[in-house]
Amino acid sequence: MATIRDIASLAGVSASTVSRVLNGDPSLSVLEETRRKIISAAEQLQYKGSQRRQNNQAAQLKDYKIGLVTFCSEQFESEDPYYLSIRLQIEKEFNQLGLHITRTIRWVNHDSYESLSGLDGLIVIGKFEFDPYNLFFSRIQNVVFVDYSPDENRFDSVVVDFDKVTRTALDHLTGLGYTRIGLISSRDFINRFGSNSGTDSVDQRQSSFEAYMKQKNLYLPEHVHIGKDFSMSTGYQLMQEVIEKQNLPEAFLIGSDPMAIAAGRALKEAGLKVPRDIALVGIDDIEMASYANPPLTTVKIYTEQMGQSAVKMLLERIGGREVPLKIVLPSKLMIRSSCGAEIRSSTS
């Protein structure tokens, strides 16, 4: 019979990592590739503990009604796959357990709180405010937020440290010698569930950018351009406006990959070349980023891991865990051609 150590040897990781992955430890931060190696090794060795655990989870959840709330319309998901990737991974995790999501609620439809009626668990994708005293919401004891942490003393959450993401990108650009760096990004918006309103605020990427650049005495407010969302159309429009003003910086940090790819198109249409005339760095590392022309340098966000962690946390909550947990996932700089690293290295 296969053991934890057998799996660890086959996967090339420690036995403790194998144990934590197979037990669904939500505090463990591990690359998706590593997790897959472990699961694959367990299946290859026909490890019984993993299958038994999944069967127990499925049996426990078979009578539970799980809801999924997302602020995205299907059209928006097709334009910006960030939240789409999270949702699909959540659905995949449930499917692998032989379960399904009872109800998917899209905020674009402005569903009332009654749409939460009868749910035993809820995963919320995106930034939402809920009335804690609402009868329908307060009855749901198992709630996990993804990409937002409204109350870490009450709810489980899976988030990204966008301050670190922003600083990683800027460290790279300044390390290449760029000093005139601009930002193209979006405002933040916290949706108020049950209505078509919400709270508008400064996004973490913008506040971190401004703090970083001011700290280095490089901040120029005229190089900060903020739109209504992180879509391709907004990125394209903002870059067109920058070009028309004829006040281009040396490089841009752009709040999302779709925005960056569209901004690159606007530059190309204006006869400007990336990275010769202006360098670009995005945030996300969507699949399209590596196929852009030129390939986009970006900071990778592990969206699949976000969805996977959310499901595991919900299972733990239903299983009896009372202490709320907050998982902050890592990010990774993916250096490609759009930042001009090769050009800068050859001329230095």
Please state which CATH class domain 162-189+198-301+333-347 belongs to: alpha beta
How far apart CA 32 and CA 308 sit, in angstroms, is: 9
Q: In the chain, which residues fall in CATH 3.40.50.2300?
A: 162-189+198-301+333-347
Dist CA 107 CA 90 (whole Å):
18
Q: Residue 209 — φ and ψ, nearest 5°?
A: -60, -50
Return the residue matching tokens 């340098």.
297
Answer with the residue of higher pLDDT: 96 or 273: 273
- End-to-end, the C-alpha distance of the chain in Å comes to 58
pLDDT of residue 247: 86
CA 152 to chain centre: 18
| Distance of alpha carbon 30 from alpha carbon 122, whole angstroms | 24
Q: Which pLDDT band holds residue 28 (cuts at 50, 70, 90)?
A: low
Q: What is the pLDDT of residue 48?
A: 67
Give the SS3 label for residue 94: helix
Long-range contacts of 205-212 (CB under 8 A, 24+ apart): 205/162, 205/165, 205/166, 205/253, 205/255, 205/283, 206/255, 208/162, 208/163, 208/166, 208/167, 209/166, 209/170, 209/183, 209/185, 209/253, 212/166, 212/167, 212/170
Q: What percent of the chain has pLDDT over 90?
A: 66
Work out the number of other CB atoms within 10 angstroms of the CB of residue 90: 27
Cite the DSSP H helix spans in the chain.
4-11, 15-22, 32-44, 48-61, 74-79, 81-96, 135-138, 162-175, 204-215, 232-245, 257-269, 303-318, 341-347
Beta-ladder partners of 103: 67
Query: Would you say residue 49 has pLDDT above 70?
Result: no
Q: Are 65 and 102 in contact (CB under 8 A)?
A: yes
**pLDDT for the residue 262:** 97
Residue 77 binned pLDDT confidence (cut-offs 50, 70, 90)? confident
- Tokens coding 346: 């050859």
pTM of the model: 0.82
What band does 348 get if pLDDT is binned at 50, 70 and 90?
low
Q: 126-162, pLDDT tens digit by residue?
A: 999 999 899 999 999 899 999 999 999 999 999 999 9
The model's pLDDT over 276-294, given as tens digits with 9 standing for 90+, comes to 999 999 999 999 999 999 9
For 302-340, the pLDDT digits (tens) are: 999 999 999 999 988 888 888 999 999 999 999 999 999
Contact 253, 182 (CB under 8 A): yes
Segment (H or E) for 25: none
CATH 1.10.260.40 in the chain: give the residue spans.
1-63
What is the distance between the alpha carbons of residues 58 and 53, in angstroms, rounded to a whole number? 9
Q: What's 115's DSSP letter?
A: G
Q: 331-334 and 297-301 as β-strands: parallel, antiparallel, unpaired?
A: antiparallel
More confident residue, 268 or 20: 268
Q: What is the fold of 1-63?
A: 434 Repressor (Amino-terminal Domain) (1.10.260)
The per-residue pLDDT for 59 is: 58
